[in-house]
């Protein structure tokens, strides 16, 4: 039976165990009810009993609490309720004299009493055995899951060349351990992969096992959470025991921060149980040698919460950063996922890669799939660049909402607001180039100006940050310039939030406050110190004044952009730049000279 369950998927194993519990309880309850029903005597009145006694129909009487259990000559069982005062010695002598077998102190229905007392214990034992069976099937045979042959290889992982190069020596150790032993080198016990979500940490771990040709055991940190004391600790011990049995192998623990958080966070029973589980993990990682052929690979995006004892050499010897891919890596990832999709002749994956800065591998895979979905939705034979543009827009700003109808005043307000953003982004050389501007609602936004950087940035300069602040303030500044100070709306809420957060980081983290200098400022319980708040306010106000000046200086360009957005709803980046260039009227030039 256990072997049969082991071949089933985990979901079916759980459902089968639950069905087994329900069936077992139903059968046990039914048997108990039948036994009790069969063993229960029939209640009769004292007058009926007296008539049966006088007629010689009573064969045996058992005196019990509350009355007499009567067995008739035919074998039927009855119960006669009598007051305790009537059941004295004289009455019993009278019954015996009439030829009835009288017994005292042992009920004929004692089997029912025994069953009634023992049945709850039997039911509890049955539930316990059933749960034990369930955990045996799910645990002993299905946990931890083991893949003996992994088809994934490093060639299936794109955009992480440095990571694969750093892990190449792990493959060498697992294939040729004698090469390490010959020079007295100790192979690493653990590798900790750190990086944002969706960068392919699990895929790389599988590829590592596939390249080395060893077994792959994968668990999640959350699997070690349990409601009973000691269960989590035992699971850790059992995991490493199984890993040693299957050596050489890769033991992969995903989201290891769920298991390896810093100890001493609290004094509750749950905290103590958590600390005990982590201690067991530390002991197990110390308890095997590199010659055992077990490499522990952990994955997390939160190294700040991990316990220092887990990070030290001898446990996780290597820390491998799995970062977001650059433009070349994004192109390689797109090619891997696009190999399964029919592409149109106009698709240039290099261009798509340039327009997706900051995308992870998982997001790029989703982008390709969304483009294919858009193509299938309209009945196209292949995914084109237009479908990729639609997919990227959906992922960045949400699904287009054509059903949301705005009245003329609101459409003009949105057009002016987005025109202000587009104008500032076009005029500022440090700002990212405008890719498109639209007043078609997407997601929660009524309009959007999409900007894309020309290259990946690792260090952002101050002039770029200031330009981003001015662009963010351009929407509110345009509203005020066109409709007046008393007619501005709540549409700039997201812009103000973005500008405030950026200014806070400039002041508190990046040392870009002229007055406070290059210091790190910690937040209090809720807010920054008052001096830091004043600096944040000054930075945002300066950006707003710069945006407002642009609106006055290039009012002709602002109006033309708004009119075109009202007429066409969506403009691409080249059209925005052309409109701004054509709107450099002499009046604007005189204002610029002044």
Per-residue pLDDT tens over the stretch 552-579? 999 999 999 999 999 998 898 899 999 9
Assign residue 260 the CATH number of its domain.
Answer: 3.40.50.300
The Cα 378–Cα 81 span in angstroms is 84
Same domain, 458 and 541: yes
Q: In the listed set 321, 336, 355, which residue is the last one of a domain according to the structure?
A: 321
Residues 6+ apart with CB under 8 A from 5: 13, 16, 137, 141
Assign residue 93 the CATH number of its domain.
Answer: 3.30.720.210
Query: Is pLDDT larger for residue 277 or for residue 371?
Result: 371
- The owner of tokens 């002044």 is 594
pLDDT digits (tens, 9 = 90+) for 206-220: 999 999 889 899 888
Has residue 42 got a pLDDT over 80?
A: no
Contact indicator for 502, 469 with CB cutoff of 8 Å: yes
Query: Is pLDDT larger for residue 520 or for residue 35?
Result: 520
* pLDDT range class, residue 29, cuts 50, 70, 90: low
Same domain, 576 and 433: yes
Q: Please indicate, yes or no, if residue 469 is contained in any of the structural domains.
A: yes
Same domain, 481 and 570: yes
Same domain, 122 and 86: no
Same domain, 62 and 9: no
Assign residue 370 the CATH number of its domain.
Answer: 1.10.8.60
Reference 432, options 449, 420, 447; nearest CA is 449
Count each helix (H run) and each strand (E run) in the chain, helices first: 22, 14
Q: Please indicate, yes or no, if residue 403 is contained in any of the structural domains.
A: no
pLDDT value at residue 16? 61
pTM to 2 decimal places: 0.67
Q: In the listed set 305, 321, 337, which residue is the last one of a domain according to the structure?
A: 321
pLDDT value at residue 179? 78
Assign residue 585 the CATH number of its domain.
Answer: 1.20.58.760
Same domain, 423 and 512: yes
pLDDT value at residue 113? 52
Strands 433-438 and 570-572: antiparallel
Contact indicator for 487, 479 with CB cutoff of 8 Å: yes
> How many domains, the chain?
5
Which two three-digit tokens encode residue 107?
């009920």
Q: Please indicate, yes or no, if residue 538 is contained in any of the structural domains.
A: yes
pLDDT value at residue 252? 92
Domain that holds residue 331: 327-397
Same domain, 535 and 561: yes
Q: Please indicate, yes or no, if residue 451 is contained in any of the structural domains.
A: yes
The Cα 95–Cα 393 span in angstroms is 98
Same domain, 194 and 315: yes
Same domain, 161 and 208: yes
Same domain, 249 and 378: no
Q: In the listed set 368, 397, 426, which residue is the last one of a domain according to the structure?
A: 397
Same domain, 26 and 47: no
Q: Checking phi first, is residue 215 left (phi over 0); if not, alpha (psi -120 to 50) or beta? A: beta
* Residues flagged as binding site: 195-202, 417, 421, 495
Query: Is pLDDT larger for residue 55 or for residue 449?
Result: 449
pLDDT value at residue 18? 62
Q: Please indicate, yes or no, if residue 122 is contained in any of the structural domains.
A: yes
Measured in degrees and rounded to the nearest 5, phi and psi for residue 455 equal -155, 165
Has residue 463 got a pLDDT over 90?
A: yes
pLDDT digits (tens, 9 = 90+) for 506-543: 999 999 988 888 888 887 767 888 889 999 999 999 99
Q: Please indicate, yes or no, if residue 402 is contained in any of the structural domains.
A: no
Q: Where are the beta strands (DSSP E) in 439-481?
A: 448-452
pLDDT value at residue 243? 86
Query: Is pLDDT larger for residue 416 or for residue 243?
Result: 416
Average pLDDT of the segment spanning 69-84 = 75
| Residues tagged active-site | 418
Same domain, 484 and 573: yes
Q: Please indicate, yes or no, if residue 447 is contained in any of the structural domains.
A: yes
Q: Please indicate, yes or no, if residue 545 is contained in any of the structural domains.
A: yes
Average pLDDT of the segment spanning 63-92 = 73
pLDDT value at residue 248? 85
């Amino acid at each position: 039976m256990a072997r049969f369950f082991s071949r089933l998927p985990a979901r079916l194993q759980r459902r089968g165990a639950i069905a087994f519990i329900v069936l077992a309880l139903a059968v046990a309850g039914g048997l108990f009810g039948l036994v009790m029903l069969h063993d229960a005597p029939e209640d009769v009145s004292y007058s009926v009993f007296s008539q049966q006694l006088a007629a010689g129909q009573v064969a045996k009487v058992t005196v019990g609490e509350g009355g007499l259990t009567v067995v008739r000559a035919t074998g039927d069982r009855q119960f006669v309720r009598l007051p305790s005062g009537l059941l004295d010695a004289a009455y019993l002598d009278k019954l015996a004299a009439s030829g009835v077998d009288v017994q005292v102190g042992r009920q004929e229905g004692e089997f029912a009493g025994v069953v009634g007392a023992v049945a709850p214990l039997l039911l509890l034992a049955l539930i316990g055995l059933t749960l034990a069976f369930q955990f045996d099937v799910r645990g002993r045979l299905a946990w931890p899951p083991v893949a003996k042959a992994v088809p994934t290889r490093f060639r299936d992982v794109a955009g992480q060349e440095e990571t694969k190069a750093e892990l190449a020596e792990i493959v060498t150790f697992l294939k040729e351990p004698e090469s390490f032993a010959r020079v007295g080198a100790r192979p690493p016990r653990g590798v900790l992969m750190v990086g944002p979500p969706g960068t392919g940490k699990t895929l790389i771990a599988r590829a590592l096992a596939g390249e080395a040709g060893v077994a792959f055991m994968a668990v999640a940190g959350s699997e070690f959470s349990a409601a009973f004391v000691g269960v989590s600790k035992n699971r850790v011990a059992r995991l490493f025991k199984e890993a040693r049995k299957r050596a050489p192998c890769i033991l992969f623990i995903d989201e290891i921060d769920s298991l390896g958080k810093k100890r001493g966070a609290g004094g509750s029973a749950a905290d103590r149980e958590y600390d005990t589980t982590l201690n067991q993990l530390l002991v197990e990682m110390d308890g095997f040698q590199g010659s055992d052929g077990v490499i522990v690979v952990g994955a997390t995006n939160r190294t700040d919460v991990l316990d220092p004892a887990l990070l030290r050499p001898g446990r996780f010897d290597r820390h491998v950063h799995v970062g977001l891919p650059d433009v070349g890596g994004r192109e390689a990832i797109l090619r891997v996922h696009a190999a399964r999709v029919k592409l149109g002749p106009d698709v240039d994956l290099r261009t798509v890669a340039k327009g997706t800065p900051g995308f992870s591998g998982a997001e790029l895979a989703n982008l390709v799939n969304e483009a294919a979905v858009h193509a299938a939705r309209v009945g196209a034979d292949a995914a084109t660049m237009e479908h990729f543009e639609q997919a990227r827009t959906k992922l960045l700003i949400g699904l287009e909402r054509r059903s949301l109808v705005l009245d003329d005043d609101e459409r003009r307000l949105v057009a002016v607001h987005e025109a202000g953003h587009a104008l500032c982004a076009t005029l500022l050389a440090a700002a990212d180039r405008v890719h498109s501007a639209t007043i078609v609602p997407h997601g929660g936004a009524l309009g959007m100006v999409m900007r894309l950087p020309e290259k990946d940035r690792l260090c952002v300069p101050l002039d770029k940050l200031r330009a981003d602040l001015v662009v963010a303030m351009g929407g509110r500044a345009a509203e005020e310039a066109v409709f007046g100070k008393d007619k501005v709306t709540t549409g700039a809420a997201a812009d103000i939030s973005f500008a405030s957060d950026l200014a806070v980081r400039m002041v508190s983290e990046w040392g870009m406050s002229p007055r406070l200098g290059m210091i790190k400022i910690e937040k209090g319980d809720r807010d920054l110190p008052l001096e830091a708040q004043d600096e944040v306010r000054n930075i945002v106000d300066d950006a707003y004044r710069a945006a407002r000046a642009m609106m006055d200086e290039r009012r002709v360009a602002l109006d033309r952009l708004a009119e075109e957005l009202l007429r066409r709803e969506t403009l691409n980046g080249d059209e925005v730049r052309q409109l701004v260039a054509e709107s450099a009227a002499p009046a604007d030039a005189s204002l610029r000279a002044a």
